[in-house]
Structure 1
Amino acid sequence: MGSVLQLAHDKGNGSYVVYLGRNSHGSESSSALDISKKTESYHELLGSCMKSKEKAKEAIFYSYSSYINGFAATLEDEEVDEISKRPEVASIFPNEESELHTTRSWEFLGLERNGKIPPDSIWVKARFGEDVIIGNLDTGVWPESESFSDEGMGPIPSKWKGYCDTNDRVKCNRKLIGARYFNKGFQASVGQPLDPSYNTARDTDGHGTHTLATAGGRFVSGANFLGSANGTAKGGSPNARVASYKVCWRGCNDADVLAAFDAAIQDGVDILSVSLGSRPRHYFGHGISMGSFHAVKNGILVACSAGNSGGQGGRVSNVAPWILTVAASTIDRNFASNVILGNNRLFKGLSFNTNTLPARKYYPLVYSVDAKAANVSALSAQSCSPESLDPEKVKGKIVYCLHASVEMSWVVAQAGGVGVILADQLPQATISPQAHFLPTAHVSAADGLSILAYIYSTRHPVAYISGATEVGAVAAPIMASFSSSGPNAINPEILKPDITAPGVDILAAYTEASGPTSQSFDKPIFHSILYLATTTSNVRQPIATDFLQESNPFDYGSGHIRPSRAMDPGLVYDLNPKDYLNFLCSIGYNATEMSAFADEPYNCPSKNSSLLDLNYPSITVPNLSGKVTLTRTLKNVGTPGLYTARINAPEGITVKVEPMRLKFNKTNEEKSFKVTLKAEENASDFYAFGGLVWSDGVHNVRSPIVVKKKDAGSA
């Protein structure tokens, strides 16, 4: 496949999305006649560039003709140059790949208590998401999962216009009401026809089934994973209807993603779950950004994951302000698998519960290097590589291996071992539980060295492994090591991610075509849930990073979701499509670029609007020089009340709010206020963090304040 891709590149052709901007029918869905006329117009436009209408028909593999106006085609370099000159073309960009961002959760979020759902839970008031339609752009669905049973569910809502692709024995029902696949963009990127096995909405990866079940799976009692996390699994909206749009194959190509957005809008979804992303790209050249804008314009909430790049800042993806971008953090559940040595020292480890050894029975403990097979290097045995161990030296023993992988437990099991201790080699490595073939404890590098020291200082070293699921005794949330963080690489004035949600070791449905691993699934957690957020953990400390250092809004946005508080938030920062168009005006989009988003020619405000004045629920100023004043507007969605501002100024920054009090006399009333930020002389050139809270004594509406003083040496 790689040679085919290289050949296509060498020949100077590739697949592209050609976006034509506004629809002639505005935001209304196209009729069958409209679709036919639009498709014909695409053939004529591209045919005029290729000097052949027939060649254009062969080149176009997607016609976006419902809510999105454009097509995807395989083009030569000179054809790209030619069509990009046409005034009808708002944007043309390569068919790039995005990547996948891969039970106790709901109790941790306060929706249930001790396995029971209290009457004041938002679940009850929202009727468990009854008849909300959740669409999922991912790797497909395993329709036979119990999470998608339709037992007891009523008729499919009349607004649903979608259907089920029944290839590969895929069957839909009153719960799973749609399943479709989109692979033409992937085929174009490969440059050759796909095997017929690709023509299916069935999930063979597991990611799509898991994210869809997390968002809208039904109640499944007796759920567990290898004996861990026992309980009743359920999604965020158990009574919602769900629809799967398979767009990810080897990767998730822009052309397929955009086709799925177009279809989902036409089908009638209410919420779209998108757990995939790519490098940050400008909005008019990014399939997810463009597709999500059209979805939001049609009243659909689009929630995307922040990404799995972790580590370095500025790598958060899905940064458009109309996308709800979600980071990943832990819950208060831990899959402990501890090592107890013969000297009674205990070392904490992790593993899913595969421990079948008798309680407190010690077994001989051996370092894998001392149990290596003949003619095998010590380096190979150290990492318990296949066929590196001597069964006679391993049988009946717990084996200590360096590094950590599921394969190592298989190697030890094949050699007759009864358990495994896997020690990280790097001090900064993050430990995650995995499913192993033997009782296993995955320990830190430091603890691994202590265990190794015990082995070499004791004539007959012994140990046993003790594991159990721990709930409630673990500090949480802690930011996941893989969760991508800000600042926003495209527009740093827009804080991303927006919020954090549970996304580590979440139990939900999976495909039967492959086994689950420890994965990240943050975004589906809250799909039909509005929120207020918190920046403290369950032990009343600031949310921490995986290194237990204090995290900041670049990690968690406005904070961790608190769904039940969303039933009565008091005030909200409201945004609509016009606000987003003015945002695009403020960053300098020209008429052609604006046409990619507006249904008709859009006149930007005569007075240059400031990017800082977008009514976003956070305040971010990345280059503060002197002082700046910005405006925000709050809408009352509760009872009348008097709200007072409470300021936590970032270090080195003076913050002034005018007025300091806002009185609301009725529901839906709006009040504006101004915030003036001024850098003090001793202010650092690094980002500083604070916050603004509006409170009436019952409701607390918080906005992060993120400020960086402009470097005196910068232009």
Structure 2
Amino acid sequence: MAQVVPAAGVAPARWKGKCQAPVRCNNKLVGLVSLMGGNDTTDAVGHGTHTAGTAAGHFVDGVSAFGLGRGTAAGIAPGAHLAMYKVCDGEGCFESDILAGMDAAVKDGVDVLSLSLGGPSIPLDKDLIAIGAFGVMSKGVLMVCAGGNSGPTPSTLSNEAPWILTVGAGSVDRSYRATVRLGDGEAFDGESLTQDKRFSAKAYPLYYPQGTSYCDYFDGVNITGKVVVCDTETPLPPLNSIQAVQAAGGAGVVFINEADFGYTIVVEKYYNLPMSQVTATDGAKIMGYARVGSTAAAHTATILFNSSIVHVKPAPIVAAFSSRGPNAASPGVLKPDIMAPGLNILAAWPSMVPIGGTESYSYNVASGTSMAAPHVTGIVALVKKAHPEWSPSAVKSAIMTTSSTADNAGHPIMDEEHRKASFYSIGAGHVDAAKVVDPGLVYDLDVGDYSAYICGLLGEPAMKTITGNSSLTCAAVGSIPEAQLNYPAILVPLSEKPFKAKRTVTNVGPAMSTYTAHLDVPGWLKVKVEPEALEFTSAMEKKTFTVTVSSRGGDADAGQLAEGSLRWVSEDHVVRSPIIADARVVPT
């Protein structure tokens, strides 16, 4: 495991966890066990160390990854105690181990549980993570899960149950800049973790191997001292292409992303071959230049390595790999719930795990919704510290309703193609850690509400399976349609016939407060909120309102999907819920 710095103070008296021998606990790492059998608690992959450091790593000065991104690093909740449960290794995971890890964590007394794992969508009563997470939620613990890495294809999510906080991935405002400059003066900003500023001092012959553009082999071709242009088949350049360029004497390489990844560039450390990854659009221009004329000697390029560039705009954007809704398991519930940083994230790494060569590193850059989830986990820990009495659903609501839908340029968050991102991509928005502890109002849910929701969605046998209570009946708990679940997002059918969704909010702000409804919806969508104002006179007071949604028939701009938002605005707070009207959702 990567070295951790002890947090201030000992673990709380209620903590029951332990560190499995030969590991010794300290004030930071208060629990570490393997649920896979044996005493091997090492992280031989790096994934667990990276995610744990992101959630709760302490402040460490002078951190960098391969000399890049240098500065002070910290997890989201640097003062939090950390417990780790090993349920996977390099060969994969058993669901029984994952469930055992959930049980152990709850019994030990965790406040929040982070799981950067998941599989394809299946019905909730067949999804063992969803079933286990219901038990976790019933004990008052919020479970934060990765949304999956199968984007940008729609309906590719993992961990779709509404009692899970499901996280999508976006970019940050830092770029490991590696600019490709052609001999004609044109320049294209790419990224790379393999940087050598000495390389930038001269121009190199540029070679594009037409017909073998994946750079798998170079039989009979002299590329010695040249910069080679290669296509990629995956988000990351294939290692065999890098090895082929190296073996044939190439000086450097420019990798061109697949078209469906748009502006998303996923970087990873590969040996020491100077390289840059560029978008498909820029790559097409580079290839065009490489093909011009008949004399290859006329085509030159260099790669300008600029270390780490910060304050990049626009950011965040949705990472292309981040899985999207609609929610296949429950189409009437918005997923993912939230977006968080998950593209090219620098965090702790176990030094014995090789990255690209033989040199050891204590930090690495990795990408995925696995990296996004622990950002939110750390925020949950901060909220639980401030409000230990809040339910898992109240914490989730605070995170969703205080999120942002604007990027750092003040425009709506965009997807990987630089189009306005749908709520099916970003959930309620990008998490805003500065606001979550004071949301003003929350949408709360309890075990009974979720049980009734399962009855409405899947029926009594599924409810018994998920709740683990064979004596419980739907006649006893009732039935709640998806659209009426007291969720912080409002997802309804789209039609000319008005559809009403009811919601209840709980006042967790000032006792005496008044909230006024503000709607931001497209002109062809008709939305009415009743009442238009909510007046509270005490803390924890509840108020119910109804949102009625319909399309204005015959509008030329009308489509299958409409998105907007409802903002409850008081003197001190803005409580925002996304509104999604989707013609594919069946009224219930």
The alignment's TM-score, normalised by the length of structure 1, stands at 0.71
Contact conserved, 2:199 with 2:274, CA < 8 A, in 1? no
Instruction: Kindly state the Cα deviation for residue 549 of structure 1 after the two structures are TM-superposed.
Output: 1.1
Partner secondary structure for residue 562 of structure 1? coil
Contact conserved, 1:498 with 1:557, CA < 8 A, in 2? yes
Long gaps (5+) in structure 2:
356-363, 380-397
Cα deviations by residue, 1:566-619 (Å, 9 ceiling, x for unpaired): 232111111222221221232252167336416563564687544322110011
Contact conserved, 1:633 with 1:672, CA < 8 A, in 2? yes
Contact conserved, 1:223 with 1:230, CA < 8 A, in 2? yes
The alignment status of 1:638 with 2:474, answered yes or no, reads no
Instruction: For 2:536 and 2:258, locate their aligned partners in 1 and report how far apart those are by CA, in whole Å.
Output: 59
Match of 1:669 in 2: 541
Contact conserved, 2:206 with 2:290, CA < 8 A, in 1? no
Cα deviations by residue, 1:9-64 (Å, 9 ceiling, x for unpaired): xxxxxxxxxxxxxxxxxxxxxxxxxxxxxxxxxxxxxxxxxxxxxxxxxxxxxxxx
Instruction: Kindly state the Cα deviation for residue 456 of structure 1 after the two structures are TM-superposed.
Output: 4.7
Cα deviations by residue, 1:629-655 (Å, 9 ceiling, x for unpaired): 221111111112211101123554321
The alignment status of 1:486 with 2:325, answered yes or no, reads yes
Instruction: For 1:355 and 1:464, locate their aligned partners in 2 and report how far apart those are by CA, in whole Å.
Output: 11
Match of 1:401 in 2: 230
Instruction: For 1:295 and 1:402, locate their aligned partners in 2 and report how far apart those are by CA, in whole Å.
Output: 45
Partner secondary structure for residue 504 of structure 1? coil
Instruction: Kindly state the Cα deviation for residue 396 of structure 1 after the two structures are TM-superposed.
Output: 3.8
1:158 partner amino acid: A
The alignment status of 1:614 with 2:485, answered yes or no, reads yes
Instruction: Kindly state the Cα deviation for residue 527 of structure 1 after the two structures are TM-superposed.
Output: 1.3
Partner secondary structure for residue 319 of structure 1? coil
Q: Return the match for 2:286 from 433, 448, 462.
A: 448
Give the 3 Å change call, closer, same or farther, for CA 312–337 of structure 1 in structure 2: same
Instruction: For 2:273 and 2:416, locate their aligned partners in 1 and report how far apart those are by CA, in whole Å.
Output: 27
Give the 3 Å change call, closer, same or farther, for CA 210–604 of structure 1 in structure 2: farther
Give the 3 Å change call, closer, same or farther, for CA 212–604 of structure 1 in structure 2: farther
Contact conserved, 1:354 with 1:435, CA < 8 A, in 2? no
Partner secondary structure for residue 130 of structure 2? helix
Contact conserved, 2:491 with 2:579, CA < 8 A, in 1? yes
The alignment status of 1:422 with 2:270, answered yes or no, reads no
Match of 2:577 in 1: 703
Partner secondary structure for residue 565 of structure 1? coil
Instruction: For 2:347 and 2:43, locate their aligned partners in 1 and report how far apart those are by CA, in whole Å.
Output: 14
Partner secondary structure for residue 244 of structure 1? strand
Cα deviations by residue, 1:447-482 (Å, 9 ceiling, x for unpaired): 331341358566443332112211103211100101
Give the 3 Å change call, closer, same or farther, for CA 456–267 of structure 1 in structure 2: farther
Give the 3 Å change call, closer, same or farther, for CA 528–425 of structure 1 in structure 2: closer
Give the 3 Å change call, closer, same or farther, for CA 442–601 of structure 1 in structure 2: closer
1:161 partner amino acid: K
The alignment status of 1:433 with 2:262, answered yes or no, reads no
Partner secondary structure for residue 357 of structure 1? helix
Cα deviations by residue, 1:65-104 (Å, 9 ceiling, x for unpaired): xxxxxxxxxxxxxxxxxxxxxxxxxxxxxxxxxxxxxxxx
Q: Mapping of 1:89-104 within 5 angstroms?
A: none
2:35 partner amino acid: F
Instruction: For 1:523 and 1:493, locate their aligned partners in 2 and report how far apart those are by CA, in whole Å.
Output: 23
1:412 partner amino acid: V
The alignment status of 1:344 with 2:179, answered yes or no, reads no
Contact conserved, 1:487 with 1:496, CA < 8 A, in 2? yes
Give the 3 Å change call, closer, same or farther, for CA 330–581 of structure 1 in structure 2: same
RMSD: 2.7
Partner secondary structure for residue 441 of structure 1? strand
Match of 1:519 in 2: 367
Instruction: Kindly state the Cα deviation for residue 414 of structure 1 after the two structures are TM-superposed.
Output: 4.1
Match of 1:154 in 2: 9
Q: Mapping of 1:575-594 within 5 angstroms?
A: 575-590=445-460, 593-594=463-464
Give the 3 Å change call, closer, same or farther, for CA 618–711 of structure 1 in structure 2: closer
Partner secondary structure for residue 534 of structure 1? coil
Match of 1:569 in 2: 439
Contact conserved, 1:389 with 1:415, CA < 8 A, in 2? no
The alignment status of 1:462 with 2:300, answered yes or no, reads yes
The alignment status of 1:648 with 2:520, answered yes or no, reads yes
Contact conserved, 1:574 with 1:615, CA < 8 A, in 2? yes
Instruction: Kindly state the Cα deviation for residue 524 of structure 1 after the two structures are TM-superposed.
Output: 0.6
1:473 partner amino acid: V
Instruction: Kindly state the Cα deviation for residue 425 of structure 1 after the two structures are TM-superposed.
Output: 6.5
Instruction: Kindly state the Cα deviation for residue 283 of structure 1 after the two structures are TM-superposed.
Output: 2.4
Long gaps (5+) in structure 1:
1-141, 185-195, 370-377
Instruction: Kindly state the Cα deviation for residue 564 of structure 1 after the two structures are TM-superposed.
Output: 0.6
Partner secondary structure for residue 40 of structure 2? coil
Partner secondary structure for residue 84 of structure 2? strand
Partner secondary structure for residue 134 of structure 2? helix
Cα deviations by residue, 1:178-209 (Å, 9 ceiling, x for unpaired): 2222237xxxxxxxxxxx7xx52211111111
Give the 3 Å change call, closer, same or farther, for CA 456–519 of structure 1 in structure 2: farther
Partner secondary structure for residue 491 of structure 2? strand
| Equivalences, count | 542
